Structures are given as C-alpha cells and as structure tokens.
Structure 1
Amino acid sequence: MGYDSSATRARLLKAAHDEFVAHGLAGARVERIAKNAPANKQAIYAYYGSKDDLFDAVLEDRIRILADVVPFTPDDLAAYAGALFDAFINDPDLIRLTQWKTLERPDASAAELEAHLTKAQAVADAHGTDLETGMDALMIALAAAQAWLFTPPPIRNPAGADEDARLKRHRAAVIASVEALAGRLLPAK
C-alpha cells in the first residue's frame, strides 16, 4: 500500500486543531501534534511550512466548516447570529479556538478578511447600503453570537437553573440584540 499524503494532511490538521484548542498558538507543540497525528514532525513543515502556517490552516478549515454548518443570511442577520450561537454551543472548541486566535493574533488573517468582506458586501447589497455599514452590521451579529457564551459562572448557571432554559433565553437575547442594533444601522426594506 502506498503513502497517502492527503490522509497525513488530514490527521495533522485534526491533531493541530486539538492542540491549538487546548494550548493556543504559543503553547502548542509541534512534537505533540506529530505524535497525535501520528506523523513525522517534518511532515508539518513539508505540508504547512511552520507552526504559524499550520494554525492559519486550522483557522481556514474551521471557517469553511462553520460556513457549511451555518448558512449565511445577509437579509436576516438576527437569524444568522442565532444560528452561530447554536453552532458555538454545539462545538465549544470552535469558540475556544477563536478566543486563542483573538488573544494571540488580533489582526484578521487573509481568509478571515475575505470571508468578512464577502459577507459584509452581501449585507450591504441585501439592504441597499454601503460596505462599511454592512461590515458594522455583520460585526454586531458576530459579536452578539459570542457574547452570551461568556456569561460569568454565578449568573450562567445558578443552583437549580435549567441549562436548556438558560440557552434559550440567551439565544433570544442574541437575536433581539442584533435586530435592535443592526436594525438601527441598516435601511428599512
């Protein structure tokens, strides 16, 4: 049986995802990624160039996965924010990876910029406004989808609280906040 480079790449990407979620970019170790792949450490450098480039590849992969899981609805940003909230609840690693990225690399990557610009233009087109307003509205939706995930522990789940009820309440708050805030920016249809 011959060597399957696509399988090795996929294993490396999965192991890198898990490593970056657990330790961030700075704390991640190439040796652990290779061991958990399992693959030769040199394969990381051959396929991805560096640990930083591998981190970028993991982020790009997650952006593609998120785009498949959460269809973008430029004409209904509140529904999009609610769907993002659901995706983050269902995949806590995604939000953790995003947090690491924000802490260690606050500037947007080329893939993030492209995704945001494309979506912001779609918002602008759907609402008959300019790109900057579309971007502002999009950022409100993205921020709202994440905001209630970080509710402090005493408020998050007080003794005897129903977790499903809390999530429904927070999801409703995400949707209402996007309707109110983005709605003020975007022209009425």
Structure 2
Amino acid sequence: MARNAEETRRKILTAATEEFARHGIAGARVDRITTVAGVNNALLYRYFGSKVDLFDTVYSRVVTELIEAVPLDADDLPGYAGRLFDYHEAHPAAVRLAAWRGLERPESPVPEVVVKAQRDKAARIAAAQRAGTVPSTLPPESLRDLLVLLTLSGSPFGTTEGGAAEGAAGGDVERARRRETVVTAARALVGG
C-alpha cells in the first residue's frame, strides 16, 4: 500500500509541476492535474491538502533538485553561472515556477531549503573574497544574486532588442551564444 501511495504522490507531483509551470497557481486546474496523473481529485486533496499546498510542495521539490544539481563553486563563479544556465535550459519549469511564486505568493515564507542554500552560497563567496580569489567589490549576497540573474537573461522571460520574447528559440547555435554571453558576463563581474 505504501508503494502505491508513493507512486500516486509522484504522479500527482509530476503532473502538477507541468500544470503550475504553464498556468501558475490561479490558472492551474486540479482536474487537469488529476487527469494527467490518472488519479481522482480526492487523492490529490488527501495527499497535499489544497492546490496552494500542492504548489508549495512542487516549488520546494523543484528548488531542492536545482540546489542539489548545481552547487556553487566559489573558485569558479563563471562556471557556476554556465552550469546554472544549462540547468535552466534543461528545466524551464524551474524558472517558470519561481516566477509564478513571486507573482502569486510573494507573501509566503521562502522554503527553508532556499534560505539555507542562499546563506551557504553567500558564505562560500565571502570566504573566497577573504582569500582574495574573488573581488570584494560587491557584497557576497549581491554577487550571488547577480550571477543568478545573469543566468536568466536567455530564459523564456528574457527579450530580444526588439522586445519580442526570445525564449529557447534559435537552436543550438543561439543557445551556445547565450550561454557564452552569460559566462563572459559572470567572468567580467568577478574580474576574471
């Protein structure tokens, strides 16, 4: 029975991740999530409580996966920016979920996993600044945040000079150009 419950939760979370990434919290529909997951609405509410609780669970899960997949290396901040760019390209739902959370749940507390990861990253950058391997021009928190923002410059929320959404269009050559721009900008930011 526990195995079936785990499988049901996994199916709901997978379907909910896609639904929330596409439609946000307000636009997401429980019936679409449960149809894709192949379960009934009662199971969704039983395992997750409410649609908002389900979103919070999905968001925490996606952020945890990102944090584990792309650790910050303070000795190679441009490389970190490149790896984070790659992750965002491969997992666009992570970027979209973060945007929806900021738009629809700005008052909700940030998941503890995010708070801990942000503190840890700033501490690593501060240690590298004290060691002289990273310039101290910016506070570590600001440098961390700027690196993350750089990686989003080619995301589906970025725009071309003409203002049209560029997103992931343009194929491998365009993606490589955008990635190189992110890494080059990160290198300039840290004086490398």
Structure 1 outlier segments of 4+, above 3 Å: 153-158
| Residue 109 (structure 1) aligns with | 110
1:147-162 matches, within 5 Å, as: 147-149=153-155, 150-152=158-160
Cα separation, 2, equivalents of 1:64 and 1:157? 28
Query: Which of 168, 172, 178 lines up with 2:180 in the alignment?
Result: 172
| Residue 98 (structure 2) aligns with | 98
Q: Secondary structure at the match of 1:128?
A: helix
Q: Are 1:16 and 2:16 counterparts?
A: yes
Query: Which of 141, 148, 153 lines up with 2:147 in the alignment?
Result: 141
TM-score by length of structure 1 reads 0.80
Change in Cα spacing, 1:154 to 1:165, as seen in structure 2 (3 Å) is farther
1:1-189 matches, within 5 Å, as: 4-106=4-106, 109-110=110-111, 111-128=113-130, 133-149=139-155, 150-152=158-160, 163-181=171-189, 183=190
One-letter amino acid matched to 1:173 = T
Cα separation, 1, equivalents of 2:139 and 2:2? 53
- Does structure 1 retain, via aligned residues, the 8 Å contact 2:67–2:117? no
Cα separation, 2, equivalents of 1:164 and 1:16? 29
Q: What is the CA-CA distance between 1:33 and the residue it aligns to?
A: 1.5
Q: What is the CA-CA distance between 1:58 and the residue it aligns to?
A: 0.8
Q: What is the CA-CA distance between 1:2 and the residue it aligns to?
A: 7.5
Change in Cα spacing, 1:37 to 1:163, as seen in structure 2 (3 Å) is closer
Which has the larger displacement, 39-48 or 7-16? 39-48
Cα separation, 2, equivalents of 1:53 and 1:155? 35
Q: Percent identity over the alignment? A: 34
Q: Secondary structure at the match of 1:4?
A: helix
Change in Cα spacing, 1:177 to 1:46, as seen in structure 2 (3 Å) is same
Q: What is the CA-CA distance between 1:156 and the residue it aligns to?
A: 8.0
Change in Cα spacing, 1:168 to 1:37, as seen in structure 2 (3 Å) is same
Q: What is the CA-CA distance between 1:171 and the residue it aligns to?
A: 1.3
Structure 2: gaps of 5 or more residues: none
- Does structure 2 retain, via aligned residues, the 8 Å contact 1:75–1:127? no
Q: What is the CA-CA distance between 1:76 and the residue it aligns to?
A: 1.8
Q: What is the CA-CA distance between 1:11 and the residue it aligns to?
A: 0.8
Cα separation, 2, equivalents of 1:9 and 1:15? 10
Cα separation, 2, equivalents of 1:53 and 1:145? 28
Q: What is the CA-CA distance between 1:97 and the residue it aligns to?
A: 2.2
- Does structure 1 retain, via aligned residues, the 8 Å contact 2:15–2:34? yes
Q: What is the CA-CA distance between 1:162 and the residue it aligns to?
A: 6.2
Q: What is the CA-CA distance between 1:25 and the residue it aligns to?
A: 0.8
Q: Secondary structure at the match of 1:148?
A: coil
Which has the larger displacement, 31-40 or 82-91? 31-40
Give the length in aligned residue pairs: 181
Would you tell me which structure has more helix in proportion to its own residues?
1
